[in-house]
Structure 1
């Protein structure tokens, strides 16, 4: 939960680096929240009101942590646009997100693993 809150506190921080753990824990908690909100929306008969509002609320934090994750692997944040290529782009982006951090400092900042 602390990783999720850390990303939300840095919701427009597009500079710096995000570790794999920070990124994937945010994705996990985000997915759980979306599933719960989807079920609640369907039960109340208002689908997709809560789901849509939450998705809109976490749009910027999601983009920011994704770009910081790309920075951690030594890639520019512009690589996020590769997801616009149907199917193949999403697979390539997932591979980038799963790639380990550069062990030393890079042009985007210090290694986030060193701060644990």
Structure 2
């Protein structure tokens, strides 16, 4: 968990996204309290200090949001849609790999075809009448 938190590549689970949000809110509250204690929020020093601290916090939340969008199979730009961040808290990610990486829960589809001799490359359950199970891949 929290591998490369400032990177925009890869996928993260709902738990990591939720913890990231809590860290972001806590950090912003801490920064606000510190700036208020340093002096008037309108002073130049307090403004510079708050910008120096807020920019990395905002970058962290943007990166974590983009990775959560990737887990849903969407581009990171989707996080600017109103209320989509709320959806990212509750919606499950795509099972298996997608263009952004492997499933962080290590869930994959496993096919049990009734026909033998068909390759696994483009095998779909409807092709063979087989069943599909979702399994957790053991590492």
In the superposition, the TM-score normalised over structure 1's length comes to 0.72
Q: How many angstroms does 1:25 deviate by? A: 0.7
Q: How many angstroms does 1:111 deviate by? A: 0.7
> 1:75 maps to what in 2?
74
* 1:47-62 aligned within 5 A: 47=41, 48-49=46-47, 50-62=49-61
Structure 2 gap ranges (5+): 107-136
Give the secondary structure class of the aligned counterpart of 1:74.
coil
Tell me the C-alpha RMSD between the 2 structures: 2.4
User: Is structure 2 residue 86 aligned with structure 1 residue 94?
Assistant: yes
> 2:30 maps to what in 1?
36
Give the secondary structure class of the aligned counterpart of 1:58.
helix
Structure 1 gap ranges (5+): 83-88
Q: How many angstroms does 1:102 deviate by? A: 1.6
Aligned residues: 103
State the structure with bigger RCO (CA 8 A, min sep 6), 1 or 2.
1
Q: How many angstroms does 1:92 deviate by? A: 3.0
Q: How many angstroms does 1:97 deviate by? A: 4.2
Native 8 Å contact 2:71 2:103 kept in 1: yes
**More strand by percentage:** 2
In the superposition, the TM-score normalised over structure 2's length comes to 0.62
